Chains A and B, each alone.
Chain A
């Protein structure tokens, strides 16, 4: 949260997204994830590790919740007592839910940062400035999605056994210990695309670039793009499913429509849309 918001009208900041007042961005990057297409293969997760210089912490640290996977696949099984025996859903098996930072428009992590290391960019992204972070972990405690990861150990370039250090992404720093990190919607790719577009004196074209997860998804379940561009694939998907930003709850008359956002009721206004019919079991 920037100092401007901190000193300005607090309630306007907190509630502003409902009136669209905080949507007057240059771009607003968003995702649509089709859960019917997701096969839980973890390709997105692996791509994220490779793209964002994420350290592989190993089994022990993973078990003690010290993993730093900016994108995780959550797996759910239908329990028999909750309708898992339902004939219609018997062959369904596990349900997968790729969870990355939801890039909330009213992010709960932002107002609690004591040093304003996390704030909203003019691109509508929830930014994290690593070298400003002091590691208080308030943001992590306030994130209802548990999608912020704390770097407990020092991983340097030498932490990757040779020759693996050669695949580190130079557009991104290798974060030191004691800072919070999270999914950035591959901001380095956004930055490059915007720079290229600016150099060529044009606007960023939809589909010109993708996040690493969307690019690597074998079933093309993940769509990334600019939500403010009405012709982009992602905003078309949101529109087709009649999901609107700035709403705490989506009421749909048509039962064929899909699309929900995780923990919508908390009014965090996430920019990640999951395409799956919400069914009561």
Chain B
């Protein structure tokens, strides 16, 4: 399921990985949100464009829509319960790089989306798919890319990223 996104001025990294299913407190359907309703990844993962981490949206962001949309669905009822108890769902990390890796979402989005001529921000999910796989088609996010050093370095070589060790290692 290696997706070759057609992003201008970019060579997508190659490599596949069969990650285990990571159980989540609520099975968040990425496909309904990002694919069917066409919500941009950065609408919920707000911090991706300006910081190291992409960020998990606060429950308030979910409730922004789900006080009116699909309130009768069992998962939304579960979510509302969390919201009323003032307890955020304890999401489990799927894409986790080791402690000694310095990775910034901001720089990569800048390179492939914002500073990339001919690239439309509405197509951000194709860039996200470089490393996260085609999350648009997934229900619960699953790790489908290896995210190891070879994976990163091969992409850096092809796209002219830095090869200085201290750029990524800390």
Contact = CB atoms under 8 A, between A and B. Distances in A.
Contact of B165 (A127, A171, A172, A188): A127
Contacts of A129: 165-166, 169
Interface of B: 50, 98-100, 102, 104, 106-107, 110, 164-166, 169-170
A127 B166 CA distance: 7
B166 A121 contact: yes
Interface string A138-176: 000000000000000000000000000000000111100
Nearest to A117: B165
B169 A122 contact: no
Given A127-B165, A132-B165, A173-B99, 19 more contacts: A119-B165, A121-B165, A121-B166, A122-B164, A129-B165, A131-B98, A131-B169, A132-B169, A171-B170, A173-B98, A173-B100, A173-B170, A174-B99, A195-B104, A195-B107, A198-B107, A199-B50, A199-B106, A199-B110
B119 to A, nearest CB: 18
Contacts of B98: 131, 173
B43 to A, nearest CB: 21
A196 B86 CA distance: 34
Contacts of A260: none
B170 A121 contact: no
A132 B170 CA distance: 11
Contacts of A132: 165, 169
Interface residues of A, number: 19
Given A173-B170, A187-B170, A195-B107, A130 B100 contact: yes
Nearest to B50: A199
A195 B51 CA distance: 10
B66 to A, nearest CB: 32
B159 to A, nearest CB: 17
A119 B99 CA distance: 21
A192 to B, nearest CB: 10
Contacts of A188: 170
Contacts of B107: 195, 198
A182 to B, nearest CB: 13
Nearest to B163: A2
Given A173-B99, A174-B99, A187 B104 contact: no
A122 B166 CA distance: 10
A203 to B, nearest CB: 17
B112 to A, nearest CB: 15
Nearest to A192: B52
A264 B104 CA distance: 39
Contacts of B110: 199
9 contacts: A119-B165, A121-B164, A129-B166, A131-B100, A132-B165, A173-B98, A173-B99, A174-B99, A187-B170
A252 interface: no
B170 A172 contact: yes
A125 interface: yes
Contact of A187 (B50, B100, B166): B166
Contacts of B169: 129-132
A220 interface: no
Nearest to B149: A131
Contacts of A187: 166, 170
Nearest to B100: A173
